[in-house]
Structure 1
Amino acid sequence: MRLLTRRKIHFYLLLAGLVLTSTTKLFAQDSPIRVAVFKGAGVGPSANDLMAALKSTGGQKLEVIRITVEEIRAGKLAGVHVLVHPGGSGGGQGRALGEDGRKAVQDFVSRGGGYLGVCAGAYLATNDYPWSLNLIDAKVVDKQHWARGTGKVKIQLSEKGSELLQEKGRELDIHYAQGPLLARREVDDPKVPNYESLATFSSEIAKKGAPSGVMQGTSAIVRSEYGTGRVLCFSPHPEMTVGLHHLIPLAISWLVPKKP
């Protein structure tokens, strides 16, 4: 009788442990992804479109806040999963961060954080300027004509890009506003991770004296890993394109991999 009682007690304790473990995992999976959108010098009005895209995510749980240079330098990135640098001026944002702020962003990503750069934020992620974050080993093609105009362009998704962004058609029409034309360097930088191209430009904008025949074939969407973190950059603006707002939360999902 005593043996039976002990077995029952052991069974109920084991069952309670399994329930507790399952509940803990459920709460962990249901916890919102904390996203911080940079707020400061160099940020343009498209940040409002980005915020709207992040807040209209359907079933995905995102907790979206704004974060300043001072907060980044003070270590506030420790409380978020993904940092977003929106459109505007890459140089303006990079110089506003300063050396200490840029180092804080690099450390955040290296330790497992996610970085999403859109347009100016993609410029910022490269290792091609003194104010760059050096998160991806990429040069900006035709810097002289960076202000090449705005408008709709076509991009061609790679197989992995189509899978990640859940787009059955490989070609998309998307709003472009003078984002970087990304390409690989002739000489590899061993200190900075190489990127994977998820989409290339299949049409071009060549206004304001920019030469034609340069934009097509350069990378429009790229991703990489940096330390234990992840980086994804859009040169064009899905958040400003009707029907493509959902690409932003999908990018966020990839930046925060699910734990087993």
Structure 2
Amino acid sequence: MMQVRDPLEWHFKQLDHAVGLSFKANFHFALVGHLLKGYRHPTPTTVARTIRILTMLLAIVARPQRRDKFEVTTDSVAYLTALVGYSDEVRSRCHIKHSLSHCMTDSVSQDNFIIDNSTTPSSASHQTISGITSTSSAITRRQKLWDSLEQSMLLQANQKQPTYTSYQSRSTRVSVSNENNVLLDPEVLTDVPTQALVLTTLATLVKYSTDEAEIRVLYQYLAEGAVVFPKVFPVM
């Protein structure tokens, strides 16, 4: 694909500059950066097609090494990161080490939801007010969710932050099981640019997501990033 691009390099460089992506710096993340726009398309079939294309690309990059397509590598991590909020299979195969599920369950309580079940004729004005309030309530829930996670991230970073004195290439391991296949694995993502690209992709996804379940999942992985990549996360 890069060879085909050469004759039109001058035009493509302008496009890359406009959207802030570089295929020469990291092909996979640049491709994902363009495809992520498909998630924000108003047509559901386009969103579904985006997921299928990302899944297909994930299989393609794993094929030359005959690896499990869900194994986290420097080539596959871009597509796995893009899919983690939308694919149950990716989430089940690409884990996080520091669980925040309990914190996230508690962070959005019943008190944060405004529900108007009244059905009397005089309730019309209350329903209107409830409809207006629901929008601000959603924003409040999102902020409370992040505030709670932020506290947990700081706590885990201080108490459970692992120390990595050396890195071992994933290729030297005897095997990679489902249990130790971690999406944000500092033994695989050893360079700062890749770590930053992964976290930026997660942040981009959560920024534009409107589904609360997806937001919860993405925040969990971002919280993990704060623990395992403490030097990169504040910059991102």
The normalised TM-score by structure 1 is 0.27
Q: Greater Rg, structure 1 or structure 2?
A: 1
The normalised TM-score by structure 2 is 0.28
Pick 1 or 2: higher relative contact order, CA cutoff 8 A, min separation 6: 2
Q: Normalized per residue, which structure has more helix?
A: 2
Q: Normalized per residue, which structure has more strand?
A: 1
